[in-house]
Amino acid sequence: MKITSSIYFYPFSGGLENNCNTIVLTGDVPIIVDPGHKHLWPSLKAKIMDDGLNPADFKMALFTHCHPDHMEAGQILEEEYGTVQAMSAVEKEFYDGPGQGFFPWMGLDPPTGDIGRLLDPGVLDLGDKVLELYLTPGHSPGGLCLHWPKEGLLVTGDIIFSHSFGRTDFPGGSLVELKKSVNRLKALDKVEMALPGHGPAIMGAKAIADNFAYVLDIMDRY
Ligand SMILES: [Zn+2]
């Protein structure tokens, strides 16, 4: 689904299984954020191609975090198109350790392929786009959120959703850290669309501010 001339959002709508939302940013250096599960890639790929995009153009598969429902299909992109898989350096350390346990736990094959790029918080230069990456632990130790101030885009991963927030009971999770991360995101200026890792997009500065207030209120009761 095209949101702007360079932002495409693919919310996951299957009711019986889990997968994440996927985001594609086109431009000088096209990237795909959170390509989801391997077995769901063919249907996602079809939707992407229906929008006139070519997955072979994707230079990077950026993972907000290393949970299989967000990153598993990155291996296919790397194998088929040479797309570079990327996550935060902090997350990679976790991925190489306890993070491997998520795959057998979800009945999945162990991951192959290479995390070819380790990202640090700060500027991510994509040529015609300059994004800011924020390290947002809490759901996982090295979760990343992406902010593109020029377009008012915030990609929130599994930190905050519409009326909910990411689980903190997985290995590497922390409610204290998650609250800090939510507050960090709340403080950002220039956010007009928040695209979360699961569930619907939150559109408009007022709706986004209201959602932060609502979610922080729930978190305070935990
Ligand atoms: Zn997750």
Which CATH number fits the domain that encloses residue 171? 3.60.15.10
Q: Is 37 left (phi over 0), alpha (psi -120 to 50) or beta?
A: beta
Domain hosting 203: range is 2-220
pTM here is: 0.97
Give residue 18's pLDDT. Answer: 80
pLDDT of 15 strictly over 80: no
152-to-87, 135, 163, 202, 218 alpha-carbon distances in Å: 22, 18, 20, 12, 26
Measured in Å, residue 1 CA sits from the centre of ligand 1 at: 22
Measured in Å, residue 73 CA sits from the centre of ligand 1 at: 14
Measured in Å, residue 71 CA sits from the centre of ligand 1 at: 10
Measured in Å, residue 151 CA sits from the centre of ligand 1 at: 25
Give residue 222's pLDDT. Answer: 80
Measured in Å, residue 195 CA sits from the centre of ligand 1 at: 15
Mean pLDDT of the chain: 96
Measured in Å, residue 111 CA sits from the centre of ligand 1 at: 16
Measured in Å, residue 70 CA sits from the centre of ligand 1 at: 7
103 CB-near residues (< 8 Å, 6+ apart): 68, 109, 110, 111
Number of structural domains found in the chain: 1
pLDDT band at 33 (very low <50, low <70, confident <90, very high): very high
Measured in Å, residue 18 CA sits from the centre of ligand 1 at: 10
Structure tokens at 68: 């299989």
Structure tokens at 125: 């230069």
18 CB-near residues (< 8 Å, 6+ apart): 37, 69
